Amino acid sequence: MIQSDKGADPPDKKDMKLSTATNPQNGLSQILRLVLQELSLFYSRDVNGVCLLYDLLHSPWLQALLKIYDCLQEFKEKKLVPATPHAQALSYEVVELLRETPTSPEIQELRQMLQAPHFKASDFLVAKSIGPSFLLRLLYAGDKLVEVNGVSVEGLDPEQVIHILGSSDGTIRHVLIASLCTCHQVYVRAMTEYWPQEDPDIPCMDAGLPFQKGDILQIVDQNDALWWQARKISDPATCAGLVPSNHLLKRKQREFWWSQPYQPHTCLKSTLCEYCNCPTAGFRRSMRLCRRKSHLSPLHASVCCTGSCYSAVGAPYEEVVRYQRRPSDKYRLIVLMGPSGVGVNELRRQLIEFNPSHFQSAVPHTTRTKKSYEMNGREYHYVSKETFESLIYSHRMLEYGEYKGHLYGTSVDAVQTVLDERKICVMDLEPQDIQVVRTHELKPYVIFIKPSNMRCMKQSRKNAKIITDYFVDMKFKDEDLQEMENLAQRMETQFGQFFDHVIVNDSLHDACAQLLSAIQKAQEEPQWVPATWISSDTES
Ligand SMILES: Nc1ncnc2c1ncn2[C@@H]1O[C@H](COP(=O)(O)OP(=O)(O)OP(=O)(O)O)[C@@H](O)[C@H]1O
C-alpha cells in the first residue's frame, strides 16, 4: 500500500533530483520531474488524491525503473567496442619492454601478472561509460567481474554486484576478465535468419543478436532452455547477445509455417517452378536441364522440398566444427551451383582445362545407347534402365534426370573413383539435391556462381551463346538475364545457408581465378563443416 504523508511539507527541490543519465530533451524521468514540480504546488493544499499521486510518482521503485529506462534509451544507438582488439599482442609487447627496464618490485609484479597462465588465457577488457543493459551484452558465461566503477567486486555475491550496478548513476565503468574456462565450445551454423526487432517474445530486444542464414555463431551459454547467448564469429568485435535456443527457434519456425496461407503441394510447386519446368523460362539450356526436368521419384521428392514443406523445417542450427583436411585425406568434393546460363559449365570446363591431372568431373551414367565413337566409362557409363533405377533406389545416385526419354545422372561411386585417384572432383548440382551430397565421405565444399547486375551482364554476355532445348546457339535476351538474376536471388534466399563461398561471374578471367583460389583454400585451410562429418571420421 502506498503511504501518503498528508499535510507534510512538500519535498524541496533537492528531493526531486532524478536520474543524471536523463536526456534533458526526451528523458522520461525529466518529464516525471516536471510533473512532480506541478504536483508539489497542490501538495500542501491537500487537493483530493494529489498526495497519493505525488507519493506514487515519487516512489523510489518507479524512479529506479525510469532510470533504467532512460539508460536503455541513451545507449540504444551506441556501439560498444573493446578498448583494443589486440590485448594479447599488447601484453606480449609490454612484457618485452619490461624486460629491458631496470627492475623494481612493481615492474616485477606487473611482469609476473602478465606472464601468468591465467592472464595469458584471458582477454582483458576495460569498458568505459556503458549502461546496465549493455553490461549484459558484454558478459559471457563464466566471465569474472572484477571491478565496478573503481570498487572491487571480487568475491561478492551476484546479488551484491547487482546492487552496486543498480545504485550506479547510469554509467558503469567496469573491468572484467573473460572466462578462463576451457570447456567444450559450441559453434553452430544458422540455417535460418533471426531478427530480434521482429520477435515480440524476446525478453530484452537490445540484447538480441540478429543473424542471417549461414552465419557461424559461437554459443557461449546454453543453460537457459529458451534463450542462449551467442556471438558471431565473423564479427569478433561484437558482444554476445541473446538468440532463441534450438528448441524455441524450431517452435517459432513451426508457428510461422502454420500461420502461412495454405498452399497445396508447396514443395512440388516451388521445385518445379523455380528450378525445373518454369514455363516462363523459355530457354532451358544444357544437359544440366535434364535434371531440372526430372520426374519426382521418391528419392527426389524427399529432398526437393527443402525449406518449403513443413516436414522439411529442419534444425534451425547445425553444429559445426573447424575442419582442416590432412594431406593424406582425400580431396573434398567441389560442388558448383548457380542459375542456368550463369556459367557453371564454362567455369568447370576452364578449370579442368587449366589442370586436367588435378581437376576432373565424374563420369555420368546414362540409359541411352552408346554412339560409335564413344567408349563405356569415358563419356558415360552405359547402363540399362533397370540398373539405373536400382542405383536410384539404393541411394547411389547423387543427382539424376530424364532427357528425351533417357536417364542421366552422377553416382556416388563415379565421384569416389575420381577422389580415389587423388584428384579434385568438380561437379555441378541443383540446389534441391544438396542434402544428398552432404556426407562425411564427400565433405562437399559448395560454391555458388552468381550473376552480376544486369548492366554488367548485358556487357559481358554480349557474345555469349546459350544452349536451349530447341536452339543450340542463341544469344542471351534481356529477359534471360533477368530470369537468371531472379533465380539466383531465390536460390540464395532458399539455400544460402549451404553455400561455403560465392563467386560473381562477371569477368570470366576473374571468376576462374577466384574459383581456383577458393578451391585451394577449401582443400588446404580450415573450414567450418557439420560436426557429424568429423565424428563419423573418428568413429570409422
Ligand atoms: N563470365 C562470362 N563472360 C562471358 N560469357 C560467359 C561467362 N560465363 C559464361 N559465359 C558464357 O555463357 C554461356 C552459358 O554458360 P554455361 O553453359 O556455362 O552456363 P551454365 O550455368 O552451365 O548453364 P546451363 O546449365 O543452362 O548450361 C556460354 O556460352 C558461356 O561461354
pLDDT band at 391 (very low <50, low <70, confident <90, very high): very high
With residue 411 as reference, give the H or E element that holds it. strand 406-411
Share of the chain above pLDDT 70, in %: 67
| Residue 530, pLDDT above cutoff 50 | yes
Ligand 1 site residues (CB inside 6 A) read 285-286, 288, 338, 340-346, 460-461, 464-467, 505, 508, 511
Please report the sign of the dihedral spanned by the C-alpha atoms of residue 32, residue 37, residue 41, residue 44: positive
| Residue 141, pLDDT above cutoff 60 | no
pLDDT in tens, 199-254: 998 888 888 999 999 999 999 988 888 999 999 999 877 778 999 999 999 988 88
Distance separating alpha carbons of residues 167 and 175, to the nearest angstrom = 17
Higher pLDDT, 31 or 302: 31
Q: How far does residue 466's CA lie from ligand 1's centre (Å)?
A: 7
Q: What's the confidence (pLDDT) of residue 369?
A: 96
Distance separating alpha carbons of residues 51 and 40, to the nearest angstrom = 9
Q: What is the mean pLDDT of residues 451-477?
A: 81
Higher pLDDT, 292 or 490: 490
Indicate which residue's Cα is closest to atom 12 of ligand 1.
Answer: 464
Indicate which residue's Cα is closest to atom 23 of ligand 1.
Answer: 341
| Residue 112, pLDDT above cutoff 90 | no
pLDDT in tens, 63-99: 778 878 877 777 776 666 666 656 666 776 777 777 7
Q: What's the confidence (pLDDT) of residue 83?
A: 64
pLDDT in tens, 396-453: 999 999 988 999 999 999 999 999 999 999 999 999 899 999 999 999 999 999 999 9
pLDDT band at 3 (very low <50, low <70, confident <90, very high): very low
Average pLDDT in the chain? 77
Q: Which domains does the chain have, with CATH numbers?
A: 13-75 (no CATH), 87-177 (2.30.42), 186-257 (2.30.30.40), 283-293+323-529 (3.40.50.300)
Q: How far does residue 347's CA lie from ligand 1's centre (Å)?
A: 8
Higher pLDDT, 411 or 298: 411
pLDDT in tens, 484-503: 999 999 999 999 999 999 99
Q: What is the mean pLDDT of residues 15-38?
A: 62
pLDDT in tens, 153-208: 766 766 677 677 666 665 565 555 545 444 567 999 999 999 999 999 888 888 89
| Residue 454, pLDDT above cutoff 80 | yes
Q: How far does residue 344's CA lie from ligand 1's centre (Å)?
A: 6
Model's pTM, two decimal places?
Answer: 0.66
Higher pLDDT, 343 or 296: 343
Calculate Rg over the CA atoms of the chain: 32
Distance separating alpha carbons of residues 244 and 202, to the nearest angstrom = 8
Q: How far does residue 478's CA lie from ligand 1's centre (Å)?
A: 15
Phi, psi of 403, deg, nearest 5 = -140, 125
Distance separating alpha carbons of residues 498 and 455, to the nearest angstrom = 28
Q: What's the confidence (pLDDT) of residue 296?
A: 41
pLDDT in tens, 352-367: 999 999 999 999 999 9
| Residue 128, pLDDT above cutoff 70 | no
* Beta carbons of 464 and 476 less than 8 angstroms apart: yes
Q: What is the mean pLDDT of residues 508-513?
A: 96
Q: What is the mean pLDDT of residues 455-466?
A: 87
* Beta carbons of 290 and 403 less than 8 angstroms apart: yes
Q: What's the confidence (pLDDT) of residue 292?
A: 52
- The helix/strand/coil state of 226 is coil
pLDDT band at 21 (very low <50, low <70, confident <90, very high): very low
Check: complex ipTM more than 0.95:
yes
Q: What's the confidence (pLDDT) of residue 118?
A: 57
Q: How far does residue 345's CA lie from ligand 1's centre (Å)?
A: 6
Q: What's the confidence (pLDDT) of residue 67?
A: 79
| Residue 100, pLDDT above cutoff 50 | yes
Higher pLDDT, 265 or 26: 26
149: region left, alpha or beta (phi > 0 left; psi from -120 to 50 alpha):
left
Higher pLDDT, 248 or 101: 248
Ligand 1 atom with the smallest distance to the CA of 465 is 29
Indicate which residue's Cα is closest to atom 16 of ligand 1.
Answer: 343
Ligand 1 atom with the smallest distance to the CA of 348 is 18
| Residue 347, pLDDT above cutoff 80 | yes
In what side-by-side order are the strands of the sheet with 216-221?
241-244, 227-232, 216-221, 186-190, 317-323, 527-530
Q: What's the confidence (pLDDT) of residue 301?
A: 41
Q: What is the mean pLDDT of residues 458-477?
A: 77
Share of the chain above pLDDT 90, in %: 42
Q: What is the mean pLDDT of residues 96-114?
A: 75
Q: How far does residue 456's CA lie from ligand 1's centre (Å)?
A: 14
Q: What's the confidence (pLDDT) of residue 396?
A: 94
- The secondary structure of residue 369, as a DSSP letter, is P
Higher pLDDT, 55 or 414: 414
